[in-house]
Structure 1
Amino acid sequence: MITMRRQLLGLGFVAASSLFALHAAQAMSGPTAITIDGGPLGSLALSGGVDGYGYYLGETNSNGNMPGTNKDIGANVANGLVELQKTSGVLQFTVEVGSNGGAVTLGTAPSQTTISNLSTGPLYAGYVTVAPTGSPFTVSVGQMGSLEGYESGVDWNNSNQLTTGIFYVENAQDRGVQLNYSQGPVSASVQLGDGYDTGVFNFLQALGSYSFNSNNTLSVFYAGNLGRTGLNAHTYAGTGNYNTTSVYNYGSYFDNSQMVGAYYSYTNGNLNVVPEVQYQIAKADAQLGQNKATSNLGAAVFGDYSFANTPYSLGGWVEYFTSHTSSLDNSTWFIAPDAEAVGFSATPTWQYKDLFARADVGYLYLLNRTQANGTKTGFGSNANDRGIFQSTLEAGLLF
């Protein structure tokens, strides 16, 4: 069920020779590439998918990242992505184009898919890879997916459409250079690029995995700024500085942070269980308006089960996260400053060959809703509710 695979903003369905090593939750099977004749380029692999969903989000308020004051019911296109790869020979390449927006973090308002999230528009990934014959090392240069975390940015690669707060704070994609190593049970990647798509090339990422056997794999990752990225840098969906309202509304502490994390994949027959923990901290920096250190801790357990000889599977996760911020900065990692919460998501899935449909139900509950400055935050029109319910109904076609 769990295989070594690469991720292009989470598009982790390519061959084992692909770039990113990710043990993605695969209760649902991802796209199957179509082999085409590339003439002088040799054999090429074409794959992709399109999906959409209806959703319900309980009553929220405008504090922190909370979306609006009314119950939200609607429908969105989730993804429309096409990927072309050359995965053989010394010189390889990957190009992925389209629109992405189907992975919805529990507790946030869904949005229509868009090509405006990244500075490169519809180009979500584009890189070349040099793979010397017989060498365990490869080198890739271009726009690539993040090495952080377990969950994917393309929803059909996850067992659940709703994602955790751990996923929300991670870097999704950047441009840079990456060195990869794979030999026996060990694989590792190190990447230097512009974390959070800032255009400032001072962000280092690393991922190392060790497979004890076919059923047990440990992965450890790191991501951090090697210097300082100033307030004039762009970030996701932003065309101005960090104060510009954007889809993700990231602050300077995200790109000027240090992150460590790990996840462990255990498979037993049709069952896969993956615990994950992640810690992120940004030190005090007066030039960035960060008067005190701010941090975020998240932990989750993911599980999926495929029912034998049927088109059905069941995915789910439980999460916990807490953040610590300054009353002067009012920094928000997820939901609201100083938020502490638990949540869960459950997703029954039906898939017949390249067609799939699934429902996702989730609930997020605030354990703490008092910020460092004493302000109360919460859900509901008066910000007095601790919990919020969210659900989606999704269908798609993969190829």
Structure 2
Amino acid sequence: MKGPAPLHLQAGPFGTLDVTGGVDGYMYALSGAGSSADPGLLGTSKSAGAELMNGLIKIEKPDGLVRFTLQGGAATPFTLGTAPTPATAQALPTGPLYAAYLTLAPTRDFTISAGQIGSVEGYESAIDWENANVLTTDLFYVENGQSLGVTASYSHGPFGVTASLGDGFDTGVWNFLQADVSYAPDASNSITISGATNLGRTGPRTHVYGSAATPYASAHVGFGPLSQSPLVNSTMIGGFYSYSSGNLNIVPEVQYVYANIDHQVGLNGFSSNFGAAVFADYHFGASPYSIGAWGEYFASNGPDLWFATPRSQGVGLSVTPTWQSKYLFARADLGYLHLTRPGAAPAYGRSGTGRDQVTGVIEAGLLF
């Protein structure tokens, strides 16, 4: 969605700062919830409820040699096929500071930033109002998000390159390298290729993203195929192409993530996750209405848990009609996921044998 122009704050020696933010919440209903006796894939999650999704404010110095970005609050994405979780400010080591980094810009084409900063992987954002759909895909689910590191970016004409070294997945271990290369020959076409890899080994005692139930200080990578060890020790290659024509935008994306055998961190067999998706977004002229949609295919191979269940395979679809008028927005999202191969663990429903999951969301929010 298109946010309003930033609020400008005169901050003395810091110059002019830009202030933006937003807050949104949603009501949901979903199928496939389990029971305490047989939780299935969605655990004992409720089949209906309401949650805060994001509450964020960002203060940014966007120009000059020395720049900075501070973004605080809570943000929790919602992936189709998973249970919704409450928004929390305890998922990261920085607590309520969702992003906090300093940037040096010695030239117009080159910048270098350091601090708690976002990933360069993938097309989708962890902040829902930056996506055309409320629900996110399997591709987003297995990507690194915010982490502590150093990022350098260089652009020249239609070309751009970004490289980052840090503690991917906020493990506290500086061994995760990310990079992307982009090419945009005109305003209608662009292509981005990205990659990431663990340069060493990240053990089970290191930290990983927390949640509303388990704060970051108590969240650990763990050991074995059902832990976060495959993700934090992974290598990824992916890319997407964006095409725009008038009010229509279409983005196909592919991504492959794998983890090699490493018995010291409980990875006893090679495993991988492949995802492919097509995103589309159409705005109905000068009206306040638009519609976003995506379709996906995913396949996990090997003993490790990437998404849904180990060795699972499936397809998904999400459709989101949206209304936005200046600062206010409201939208609905209907998502359907089908496991073409349920994998090696209980799937959906009380019996744990269901292959289908439907999620309905009604969301409203305010941007400023």
Distance 1:143 1:209, change over 3 A: same
Q: Is the 8 A contact 1:65 1:334 kept in 2?
A: no
CA RMSD of aligned residues (A): 1.6
**Structure 1: 5+ residue runs without aligned partners?**
1-27
Match in the other structure for 1:185: 158
Question: How many residue pairs end up in the alignment?
Answer: 358
Q: How does 1:1-399 map to 2 (within 5 A)?
A: 28-61=1-34, 66-69=41-44, 72-101=47-76, 103-132=77-106, 134-237=107-210, 238=216, 239-243=218-222, 251-326=228-303, 331-371=304-344, 377-399=346-368
Q: CA deviation at 1:256?
A: 0.6
Q: CA deviation at 1:57?
A: 1.3
Distance 1:370 1:52, change over 3 A: closer
Rounded to whole Å, the distance in 2 between the matches of 1:203 and 1:129 is: 20
Letter in 2 for 1:353: K
Post-superposition Cα deviations, 1:207-238, rounded to whole Å, max 9, x if no partner, equal 11100211000000011100111111100014
Q: CA deviation at 1:254?
A: 0.6
Post-superposition Cα deviations, 1:13-59, rounded to whole Å, max 9, x if no partner, equal xxxxxxxxxxxxxxx21353111111111111000001110001112
Rounded to whole Å, the distance in 1 between the matches of 2:343 and 2:286 is: 49
Rounded to whole Å, the distance in 1 between the matches of 2:264 and 2:290 is: 50
Letter in 2 for 1:49: G
Match in the other structure for 1:11: none
Q: Is the 8 A contact 1:181 1:189 kept in 2?
A: yes
Distance 1:147 1:354, change over 3 A: same
Q: CA deviation at 1:163?
A: 0.4
Rounded to whole Å, the distance in 2 between the matches of 1:294 and 1:64 is: 25
Distance 1:51 1:305, change over 3 A: same
Matched residue SS, 2:117: strand
Match in the other structure for 2:213: none
Compute the TM-score of the two structures, normalised by the length of structure 1.
0.87
Rounded to whole Å, the distance in 1 between the matches of 2:183 and 2:144 is: 23
Q: Is the 8 A contact 1:65 1:336 kept in 2?
A: no
Matched residue SS, 1:196: helix
Q: CA deviation at 1:181?
A: 0.4
Letter in 2 for 1:66: L
Compute the TM-score of the two structures, normalised by the length of structure 2.
0.94
Rounded to whole Å, the distance in 1 between the matches of 2:191 and 2:289 is: 28
Rounded to whole Å, the distance in 2 between the matches of 1:150 and 1:266 is: 13
Identity of aligned residues (%): 49
Rounded to whole Å, the distance in 1 between the matches of 2:45 and 2:151 is: 45
Match in the other structure for 1:17: none
Rounded to whole Å, the distance in 2 between the matches of 1:156 and 1:225 is: 30
Rounded to whole Å, the distance in 2 between the matches of 1:127 and 1:94 is: 6
Post-superposition Cα deviations, 1:340-373, rounded to whole Å, max 9, x if no partner, equal 00000000000000100000000000000142xx
Q: Is the 8 A contact 1:31 1:48 kept in 2?
A: no
Letter in 1 for 2:201: R
Post-superposition Cα deviations, 1:304-330, rounded to whole Å, max 9, x if no partner, equal 00000210000000000000122xxxx
Letter in 1 for 2:42: P
Matched residue SS, 2:231: helix
Letter in 2 for 1:261: G
Matched residue SS, 1:254: helix
Matched residue SS, 2:100: strand
**Structure 2: 5+ residue runs without aligned partners?**
211-215
Rounded to whole Å, the distance in 2 between the matches of 1:394 and 1:61 is: 24
